[in-house]
Structure 1
Amino acid sequence: MPEWLDVVVRSLIFLLTLFFITKLVGKKQISQLSFFEYVSGITIGSIAGEVTMGLENNIYHGLIGVLIFGGTPFIIGLLSLKSKAVRDVVEGKGTVFIKNGKIMEENLKKERYTIDEMMELLRAKDVFQVSDVEFAILESSGDLNVLLKKENQPLTAKDLGVNVPPTKEPQIVIMDGEILDEPLATIGLNRNWLKTELEKLGVTIENVFFGEVDSYGQLAVDLFDDQIKIPEPSEKPLLLATMKKCQADLELFALSTNGEEAKKMFSENSKKLEKAIDKVTPLLRS
């Protein structure tokens, strides 16, 4: 067999072998690999490269080495799922840097981190003062997770006592100028609705590079021509304005009618609608 053809065959064999080993080990990102998995990956690549280009080497010996270094992380991974002790050794444990608002100096020294390096990680989380932090832990991946003190945490709908509906997954309905029917059907819409919404925006489907429907049923689009400006979705502001107009009309009817029963009905419904407006205003203004 010619040398060039031998290299091609070896390359394809190792490419397929590495592909199946990678599928076997799992979907972890590079930043999530344990030290053991990282070292194994480097070694596998070195073996594959050496046997592929070193034609004097036995290809079967290379395959055995690759399978050993590929299979061992898989076995260790299975053991880690069943044993916390193994998991702690292979993947490592998180280290607390700040606890109850206090910096843990000994833990910083243990991980060989300086105050400047810790502050850099905090700033990456948009935290600029240690005094704002209740708890911070350096994960085994090297990422710092931070819990702010209660008074420094952003307000949520729960804090305000506002009930909000669950957010649905946005659906991409236009891609590269083509309508995607399956996402439209998922949210109970169709092409006629989509074309109507595009007409409201004053664009045609051929001009749309990307279109997405949010959890409120509003369509947002990005055009091929970035110089063309399109209006922002206005369904929510229009709905809020309509509700306020209805509430004002009910108040007016209550004042202008002479019948006591009708006056009472208009007044009660006006108050009910006013309470409903107060509840949905944060949602319709967002």
Structure 2
Amino acid sequence: MSEWLEVILRTLFAVVVLFLLTKLLGKRQVSQLSFFEYITGITVGSLAAYISLDTDKHWHLGLIALIVWVACSLGIEYLQMKSKKARDFIDFKSAVLIKDGKILEDHMKKERLTTDELLEELRKKDVFNISEVEFAIMESDGAINVLLKRENQPLTPKHLGIKVAPEKEPQAVIMDGKVLDKPLDTLNLTRSWLDGALEKMGLTVENVFLGQVDSYGELTVDLYADDFKVPQPQDKPQLYALLKKCEADLEMFSLSTENEKAKKMYEQCAEQLQASLKVLKPLIQS
């Protein structure tokens, strides 16, 4: 067999073996790497290259080494899941870099991290002032996580005592100009509903590159024609206008009637509707 043909066949074989073994190692191997996973990635790649290019009769030794290395990796990962001491020994421990707005210089030196590098990582977290940080920690994979002081944390509905409904992930119902029936079933929607929503926008399924439905049942689309401006849905603004009209009507009824009992009822309904509108306004006008 010609050497070039042998190299092609071995490379294809190495690709298949490497793919299967990487699948066996799991998603962690392709995510943010820990110290040992970094070494594993380099070694496995080198062994795969050896299998592809070594044209002598001992190429199978590279395959054996590759299998042994992957087996060791799996064994170490199992040991790490069972023992915290093993995790701390094999991987780096997490290190606190900032506490109560104060940089811990000794920990910085131990992690060989400069002030410029720390500031750069904080800016990636939208933090520009050290004094705003309650706690910053370098994880075992080198990532830096930051907890802001309470007064510097973004305001959330929980801080205001507002309960919000759980948010469901948007479902892609159209992709590459084709309707996806399973996401529609998940949302309890039909193709007829989808056709109607597209008709309101003056579109057909074939025009749409990607279409998504959010948890409120609103369809948003991205078209193949980038220059075409998609009409914005009017259902929410119309609903808000209708509710405001109802509120105004109730206030007018309370002013026009001479029946005290009816007047009080209209006033109470108007106040309840006004309170409801304050809660619904961010959702309806978004």
* TM-score normalised over the length of structure 2: 0.93
Q: Deviations over 1:47-86 (max 9, x none)?
A: 2222322221413322211111111111000000000011
Letter of the 2:229 partner, please give it.
K
Q: Decide whether aligned partners of structure 1 residues 225 and 12 sit closer, same or farther in structure 2, where only a CA change above 3 A counts.
A: closer
Residue 139 of structure 1 aligns with which residue? 139
Match of 1:21, SS state, is helix
Letter of the 1:176 partner, please give it.
D
Match of 1:32, SS state, is coil
Q: Deviations over 1:29-48 (max 9, x none)?
A: 54522222222222222222
Residue 7 of structure 2 aligns with which residue? 7
1:265 deviation in Å?
2.6
Unaligned runs of 5+ in 2: none
The question of whether the paired residues in 1 share the 8 Å contact of 2:51 and 2:60 is answered with no
Residue 271 of structure 1 aligns with which residue? 271
Q: Percent identity?
A: 53
Q: Decide whether aligned partners of structure 1 residues 91 and 236 sit closer, same or farther in structure 2, where only a CA change above 3 A counts.
A: farther
User: What does 1:153-168 align with in structure 2 at a 5 Å threshold?
Assistant: 153-168=153-168
Residue 181 of structure 2 aligns with which residue? 181
Q: Quote the Cα distance in structure 2 between the aligned partners of 1:91 and 1:29.
A: 14
Note if 1:208 corresponds to 2:208.
Answer: yes
Q: Quote the Cα distance in structure 2 between the aligned partners of 1:145 and 1:94.
A: 10
The question of whether the paired residues in 1 share the 8 Å contact of 2:169 and 2:214 is answered with yes
Letter of the 1:166 partner, please give it.
P
User: What does 1:216-255 align with in structure 2 at a 5 Å threshold?
Assistant: 216-255=216-255
Residue 196 of structure 1 aligns with which residue? 196
Q: Quote the Cα distance in structure 2 between the aligned partners of 1:46 and 1:57.
A: 18
1:112 deviation in Å?
1.0
Residue 38 of structure 2 aligns with which residue? 38
Note if 1:125 corresponds to 2:125.
Answer: yes
Match of 2:28, SS state, is coil
Unaligned runs of 5+ in 1: none
1:157 deviation in Å?
0.4
User: What does 1:20-59 align with in structure 2 at a 5 Å threshold?
Assistant: 20-28=20-28, 30=30, 32-59=32-59
Between stretches 259-268 and 168-177, larger displacement belongs to 259-268
Between stretches 77-86 and 10-19, larger displacement belongs to 10-19
CA RMSD, 1 decimal = 1.8
Residue 83 of structure 1 aligns with which residue? 83
Letter of the 2:21 partner, please give it.
I
The question of whether the paired residues in 1 share the 8 Å contact of 2:240 and 2:284 is answered with yes
Between stretches 161-170 and 54-63, larger displacement belongs to 54-63
Q: Quote the Cα distance in structure 2 between the aligned partners of 1:230 and 1:40.
A: 49
Q: Quote the Cα distance in structure 1 between the aligned partners of 2:267 and 2:109.
A: 69
1:4 deviation in Å?
4.0
Q: Quote the Cα distance in structure 1 between the aligned partners of 2:7 and 2:64.
A: 18
Q: Quote the Cα distance in structure 1 between the aligned partners of 2:190 and 2:172.
A: 13
Q: Quote the Cα distance in structure 2 between the aligned partners of 1:226 and 1:12.
A: 40
Q: Deviations over 1:158-184 (max 9, x none)?
A: 111222111011011111121212111
Q: Quote the Cα distance in structure 2 between the aligned partners of 1:185 and 1:54.
A: 53
The question of whether the paired residues in 2 share the 8 Å contact of 1:51 and 1:58 is answered with no
The question of whether the paired residues in 1 share the 8 Å contact of 2:135 and 2:146 is answered with yes
Q: Quote the Cα distance in structure 2 between the aligned partners of 1:233 and 1:246.
A: 22
Match of 2:98, SS state, is strand
Letter of the 2:64 partner, please give it.
I
Note if 1:109 corresponds to 2:117.
Answer: no
Q: Quote the Cα distance in structure 2 between the aligned partners of 1:226 and 1:44.
A: 43
1:279 deviation in Å?
1.9
Match of 1:229, SS state, is coil
Aligned residues: 286
Residue 99 of structure 1 aligns with which residue? 99
Residue 257 of structure 1 aligns with which residue? 257
Letter of the 2:233 partner, please give it.
P
The question of whether the paired residues in 2 share the 8 Å contact of 1:31 and 1:141 is answered with no
Q: Quote the Cα distance in structure 1 between the aligned partners of 2:30 and 2:102.
A: 32
1:8 deviation in Å?
3.9
The question of whether the paired residues in 1 share the 8 Å contact of 2:29 and 2:41 is answered with no
Q: Quote the Cα distance in structure 2 between the aligned partners of 1:66 and 1:247.
A: 73
